[in-house]
Structure formats: C-alpha cells, structure tokens
Amino acid sequence: MKTTLLAFAALAFISTAQAAEERRSTAADQTALAVTIYNGDLALVKDARRVKLNVGENLLAWRGVSARMQPETALLRSLDGRRLTLLEQNFDFDLLTPQKMLEKSVGEPVRVIRTQPVTGVEYAESASVVAANDGVVLQFADRVETGVPGRIVFSRVPTDLRDHPTLSMLFRTDAPPVTAAYQQGSTGTEHGLELSYLTGGLTWKADYVAELSAKEDRIDLNGWVTLTNTSGTRYPNARLQLVAGEVNRAQQEHLRPPVMMKSLAMADAAPQMQEESLFEYHLYTLDRNTTLGDKQTKQVALLSAQNVVVDKEFRLVGGDWYYHGQHGDLGKKMKPSVFMEFANQGENLGIPLPRGVVRVYKKDSAGRAQFIGEDRIDHTAKGETVKLKLGEAFDITADKKQTDFQKLAGTYNSRGGVIESGYQMEIRNAKREKVVVTVIESIPGEWQMVQESHPHKKDSASSVIWQVPVPAEGKAVLTWRVRVKY
C-alpha cells in the first residue's frame, strides 16, 4: 500500500509540473574539463558540471560549447547514475551582434532615439525594420529612411540569438522516491552531468629544436607541442591529451580553411609529456592542467633529450636515364646534400615521436646559436631512425661524366639489348678535414659491375652505393663500368 502511494505521488508531481523553463549552465558550474586533440582538426571535449535539475522535463542551455562542435556527436550523461532521456537538442551558434539584431528584427517595430541639434534634447520615433542587408532600411509613419543617425532601440533580444555558443537540450530525468526534498514546487537538486562532443577548431602539431655539438656528433633535442584554438570558446584549467596517428573519419561535406596563428616564443623544455599506446595510436598526456584561450596559440613541452648520438652524411644521388644511351657530361659542380640521422632509442630518447618539423641549430665561434636547416619527420616509432636533410654542402663539389659507351647486343636504344658504359666522378673537398661522400646510383635492368675504383654495396635490385673518402683540401676520383641487359 505504501509503495502504491509513493508511486501515485510521484506521478501526480510530474503531471502537475509546469512546462520546463530554460535553465542556464555556464563555465562557473564546471567541475572538470578534459580535451583530447587528434591530428586533422578534430578534438574530443568532455565537460563535467553540477547543475540543478527538476524531476521530469528539463530545458538546459549549456553555454560555452565550441562554436565548431559537431552537434550530432553530443552525448549527455549523468555522473550520479540517474537515467536521462534526451528529447530534443538545438545548437545555437548564431551569436548576438548589432548586425544580427537588425537582421533578426526585419519586420519588427523598433524605436529610433535622436538628439535635437539645437536644444540637445533626445526624442524617440517609432519605426519598423524593412531590410538589414547592407546597412539598415527603416519604415517610419510618413517615410522610409536609410543610414539613420541616432540609436536604434529594440524591445527584446531575439530568442534564437545567443551571446555564447550554446547547446540547448530538452530531456527527462527519472523520478526518485518522494522525500521532503522532492515536493511540488521544489526548485530542483544538483546533478552531476557530463557533456562530451567532437569539435573542429582545435589542432596540434609537434615541433623539435635540436642543437648540434661543436664536433657535430651529438645533439640536444627538445620537443614542443603547438596548440591552436579557433573553436570559438576557451577551455579553462583543462586536462590535455594528444593523440598521434591517423584516425579514420567519414568524409566531411564541407571543410573550413585553417586559420594561421602567430606562434609564441619557445622557452626551456619542461619534463616531457607522459606517453602510452592507445589502439594503433599513441596518446600523450600533459602532467598538469592548462587553459586554452580562444584564438590563441600555446606551446607546451613534449620531450627533452641530451647527448643524442648523430651521424652526418654527404650524399650524391644519380639517376638511371643515362644508362640507356650515349652522353657526355652528366653534371658540373654538383653539391652533395647534407643529412643528419639519429636512432630513436636509448635512455635519453626512445619514445614514439609525433609527426612534425625538426629545426637544427649550431653555435658559432662566439657562442651564438645559428640556424643550419630543418626537415619534416613522419610519426616515428621507438627504435626507428630519424633522417634529416639540412641543406647542401658549400665546400664539396663533384663533376660526373660518361667515359665510354658500347652496344654489345641488340639495336641502339631498343629494349632487349646489352649495353656496357663507363663513368667517372671527381669529388673535390675544400674543407680542412677529410670527409666521406656517399654516392648512390640507380641502375636499370639486369646489371653487372664490370670494373670499379672503390668497392660498392648493392642496396637493392636497382641501387648501388659507394662510400668515397675525400682528403682535406683534396680530391678523389670514383670510376665504374657497368654492363646492363634490357
């Protein structure tokens, strides 16, 4: 009997409740905020708040959401274990501005406040807004005016204009047992709610700064994460996580162009972010909360590694086109590319490196760091090698020419023939120390090295590599003769 009375009382409360009035929730209600940013202009926001709710239907205006949120991804859940039934939601991103007020008031009455030029007394006239496309057109009782001087006074703010991006949600909460706290006329009790959604306008990228040692055999590497927020709202005191990897997404119908922001100056790196595996990706977590302001670029430390062993390489790469026919000079004063590589391993490093740009500096004789080159790296797993192209050598040059060409079988320039050709490369070194230059040639078809001045390494079916030592302020000559069957 007692159970029946309690159920009846609860039903009576719901049936006699007034229509749900909008209740606003702002950032002041937040208890926790977490932002996970992915590659490719995508972020997951989890916003937890304490909000007063009534039993039955509630209309909640969740203010301060991202202006670029994907409303179809919004998920509201109770942190107190109560059942929520979502009935309707509206995403209001048409923000309140004077122009928007005019556009939304077309056909509505307004008052125009003017000042009498002689006496300075203000007076008002009634009018209605006819148009607000490029300026304003007002209909007075006896005339139509444009470019009206004075102030336009509106009777109200249009209901579909908000001063902040807002997600309005109409939902029903379950009825707890009837107690003194849940009587008719109750103003509601606090509930813990969490709104999660996907949004654009939050991006991140990794940047690395490497300082090369005087002997050019080690680097100090600092990694930074550059965060850019153009989502239309701020995220105060948020727990920040970053996902490195390519998450598959359904094709978007419309993509907004990215907004370029000015980067902040770099400082010394703090302790690195915590890294862990997440499915087939890698998750980086900042060890403290941070605030992402709207229209702001922020940098946080990703990693710091000292005394990382590096190798420097001078590389000359040839083609395969001149093995088909007869030629003369194949290049004059060619400059080798300068590469620097290091292994992503060891105590100092050895964590998955997100895709980004590595900028390398070296101190001059006065101790001032000078920029010497940069290159982009892809996502790099632990244990893999990072290879950076920094530029071209100034003091090392090479001349290459074909020294001989013989058609041993087949028709000239035909497929199916056998050609034997000889080549010479003279490498000059104006530096005060000796260098080793890596020469790479791509040889087509079935080939056989007939003769060479330096031993080669067969790197692949069509690639051959020579390591050529060149003395200080001297030169070295590499020659080779190859037989190619097509």
Query: Given its phi and psi angles, is residue 81 left (phi above 0), alpha (psi -120 to 50 degrees) or beta?
Result: left
Q: 241-250, pLDDT tens digit by residue? A: 999 987 887 7
pLDDT of residue 52: 92
Give pLDDT tens digits along the chain (486 positions). Answer: 444 433 433 333 333 334 568 899 999 999 999 999 999 899 999 999 999 998 899 999 999 999 999 999 999 999 988 889 999 999 887 667 788 788 888 889 999 998 888 888 999 999 999 998 888 999 999 999 988 778 899 888 776 667 778 999 999 997 654 444 444 444 568 899 999 999 999 999 999 999 999 999 999 999 999 999 999 999 999 999 999 987 887 765 544 433 333 333 334 444 567 888 888 888 999 989 999 999 999 999 999 999 999 999 999 999 999 998 899 999 999 999 999 999 999 877 888 999 999 999 999 999 999 999 999 999 999 999 999 999 999 999 999 999 999 988 765 555 568 999 999 999 999 999 999 999 999 999 899 999 999 999 999 999 999 999 999 999 999 999 999 998
Q: From CA 291, how far away is CA 236, in angstroms rounded?
A: 4
Would you call 44 helix, strand, or coil by DSSP? strand
Would you call 76 helix, strand, or coil by DSSP? strand
Structural domains of the chain, ranges and CATH numbers in brackets: 2-94+162-199 (no CATH), 98-153 (no CATH), 311-336+393-485 (2.60.40)
Q: Which residues of 271-298 are buried (b: 16+ CB within 10 A; e: fewer)?
A: ebbebeeeeeebbbebeeeeebeeeebb
pLDDT of residue 253: 53
Q: End-to-end alpha-carbon separation of the chain, Å?
A: 98
